[in-house]
Amino acid sequence: MTERQINLAFVGTGPWARRQHFPVLQHLVKTLPEEAGITLNLRGIASLELAAARDAAERVGFEVVYPHLDALLEDSSVNAIAVAVPPHAAKSVIEQVAARRLPLFSEKPPGISLAEAEALGELVQVPHVLAFNRRFAPLNNTFKQIVADMDRIYFVEGHFLRHQRLDPAFMVGTGIHWINFMIYCFGEITTVTVERFQNPSQECWNRIAQLTFPGDLRGLLKVFPCSGSSVEQLEVHSSTQSAYLDGPLGSNPGRILISRGESQEIIEQEVTRPEIVRVGIVGEYHEFFTRACAGLSTRSTFQNAVNAMRVAELLG
């Protein structure tokens, strides 16, 4: 196998980068040569917070701290770029980074609005991964295959619940995850009817959306930002079989229940898998390095996120 070297430049040092992205990169620096014949070199990092960038370089192993984004873009040794910045800054940063025409990894969401998502979908034409990690979680993909093998599905229902999430941008920034995953499983959402009602004890809004997918498949999605639990669930029904996904989230490894009348089958994920593997963050980076950096298509892009952003805005 011919070994390839990827010299990655990273943009961002926020909480999500520190908590998820940096541990994943440290993991893949060690494992990619074994799995894919790739040598991953953490070439450099850029951030508006120079002290945080220097700290990340020391702890994570980036070779260079760029004093500004232009310095990163001028580094001719870089052959891949990852971006994890707040949603309000994403469009501006990606517009600048896209000029290098290098494989791109970007944290979701694709901007803060449908207009920004559409603009980025037009702009980003290089091989890339948009980090909707639910598409890369191993258990979620097992469920997707189970659903694909079911005969004549007639109804699907998603539950996306959180506890005390009062962020006014919750729907576009977080709730969009389950919209995006349902599109991944069932195809583009064609019609949306939304009921919004205020949570009686919190200043937030609950959403119940009736959805239609290709083939007139009917669906329902419940998004409750202020509930008593944090769960991501999906149920799928045909005449002979029902399948239920309790998606991995945090320390919950998740499980799948398949019901055929009185017969039940349970598929559980190995709890020994690290959380960054269970929830798909290792998977999305693995796809970036092995596919996007090789010029190949990927399963999560700015283009196939536009429909999810449209629906998220309607639910917002």
pLDDT 10s digits, 259-269:
999 999 999 98
Res 32: pLDDT: 87
What is the average pLDDT score of the chain?
A: 95
135-274: CATH number: 3.30.360.10
pLDDT at 36 over 80: no
pLDDT (mean) for 1-25: 92
Q: For the chain, what is the radius of gyration of the CA atoms? A: 20
Beta bridge partners of 158: 221, 234
Q: Counting beta carbons within 10 angstroms of the beta carbon of residue 272, is it exposed (0 to 12), middle (13 to 18) or buried (19 or more)? A: exposed
pLDDT of residue 271: 76
Choices 3.40.50.300, 3.40.50.720, 3.30.930.10, 3.30.70.3040: CATH for 4-133+281-306: 3.40.50.720
* SS3 track for the chain: CCCEEEEEEEECCCHHHHHHHHHHHHHHHHHHHHHHCEEEEEEEEECCCHHHHHHHHHHHCCCEEECCHHHHHCCCCCCEEEECCCHHHHHHHHHHHHCCCCCEEEECCCCCCHHHHHHHHHHCCCCEEEECHHHCCHHHHHHHHHHHHCCCCCEEEEEEECCCCCCCCHHHHHHHHHHHHHHHHHCCCCEEEEEEEECCCCCCEEEEEEEEEHHHEEEEEEEECCCCCCEEEEEEECCCCEEEEECCECCECCEEEEEECCEEEEEECCCCCCHHHHCCHHHHHHHHHHCHHHCCCCCCCCHHHHHHHHHHHHHC
pLDDT at 1 over 60: no
pLDDT for residue 206 is more than 80 = yes
98-137 residue pLDDT tens: 999 999 999 999 999 999 999 999 999 999 999 999 999 9
The pLDDT, as a whole number, for residue 10 is 98
* 207-235 residue pLDDT tens: 999 999 999 999 999 999 999 999 999 99
User: Domain boundaries in the chain?
Assistant: 4-133+281-306, 135-274
Q: Structure pTM? A: 0.95
pLDDT at position 22 is: 97
Q: Please tell me the least confidently modeled range out of 2-6, 51-55, 159-163.
A: 2-6
pLDDT tens-place string over residues 299-309: 999 999 999 99
pLDDT at 33 (0 to 100): 78
Per-residue model confidence (pLDDT) at position 224:
96
pLDDT in tens, 127-174: 999 999 999 999 999 999 999 999 999 999 999 999 989 888 999 999
Distances (CA, A) of 156 to 70, 177, 199, 209, 291: 47, 16, 25, 12, 31
Q: Using an 8 Å Cβ cutoff, are 190 and 126 in contact?
A: no
Cα(217)–Cα(145) distance, integer angstroms = 17
pLDDT for 2: 63
